Amino acid sequence: MDEFRDALRKLRVVPRALMKATRGALEDHPHLVNCALFLLVLGAVWVFNGEDGRTFELLRGDGLDLSLGMLTVAGIMAGFVGVVVVFGLQASAPVFVRFRVAAGQSLGRNWLVLIATGFLSTAAAMAAAVAYAVGALPLGFGALLLSVLLSVHAALRMLWLVRVLIEAVRLDDTEKLNPSKVEPAAKRYTPAP
């Protein structure tokens, strides 16, 4: 029975390690997520286009409205991303400085991709609106889907970064109230290998 338990423990270690490595790669290299989303959209357009194009006809009337609505959402998202990044860059408290130094290139990549994703989502929504207006339904569908997926990616990544920034603010507040009980931020914010 002990051998069976040991085998089960070994099986659980591999998926956890794989998940940890995957999560670390996705957190440190956000451009990979955007590339994967683009490939997913290409696959979706290819699959749905193979069904006689009837799928695209369903969105003929609503596609333009959805694209214009998504253009608004993507624009708001891009603006909010800018606020979050500026807050993270301008904070001059020692805990923020240690956080930015410890996070290094990973943080820079996340902020740059976050800003680029907002702009890409806006551009994709605009392309979708134009495509639907001229009747290029597969292109409109693909651009609209890409805009939605990029906005979801930007929102999730932004919420993750806001959570990290909130933790940095909490550490800064704790450090101001009682400096002796604070764990160094450099230890807490070490990027994944």
Kindly state whether residue 50 falls inside one of the protein's structural domains: yes
User: pLDDT over 90 for what percent of the chain?
Assistant: 13
Q: What is the pLDDT of residues 128-161, one digit of tens each?
A: 999 989 988 888 889 999 999 999 998 888 888 8
Type and span of the H or E element at 93: none
Contact call for residues 186 and 95 (beta carbons, < 8 A): no
Mean pLDDT of 154-180: 82
Q: 164-190: string of b/e by CB count within 10 Å (b at 16+)?
A: bbeebeebbeebeeeeeebeebeebbe
The CA-based angle 31-114-124, given to 5 degrees, is: 80
- CA–CA gap between residue 144 and residue 167 (Å, rounded): 35
Q: What is the pTM of this model?
A: 0.74
Report pLDDT digits (tens) over 40-83.
Answer: 888 888 877 766 666 677 777 788 888 899 989 988 888 888 88
Q: What is the rounded distance in angstroms from the CA atom of residue 151 to the CA atom of residue 37?
A: 11
Instruction: Using pLDDT thresholds of 50, 70 and 90, give the confidence band for residue 188.
Output: low
Query: 175 in a domain, yes or no?
Result: yes
Token match 């990973």: residue? 106
Position 64 in a domain: yes
**Pairwise CA distance, residues 96 & 90, whole Å:** 9
**193 within a domain of the structure (yes/no):** no
> Domain residues for 98?
2-188
Instruction: Name the token pair of 78.
Output: 């891009």
16-25: which pairs have CB atoms within 8 A and are 24 or more residues apart? 23/192, 24/192, 24/193, 25/192
Q: What are phi and psi of 53, to 5 degrees?
A: 70, 5
Work out how many domains the chain is built from and give that number. Answer: 1
What does the block give as tokens for 143? 């651009």
Counting residues of the chain whose pLDDT is more than 70, the rounded percentage is: 75
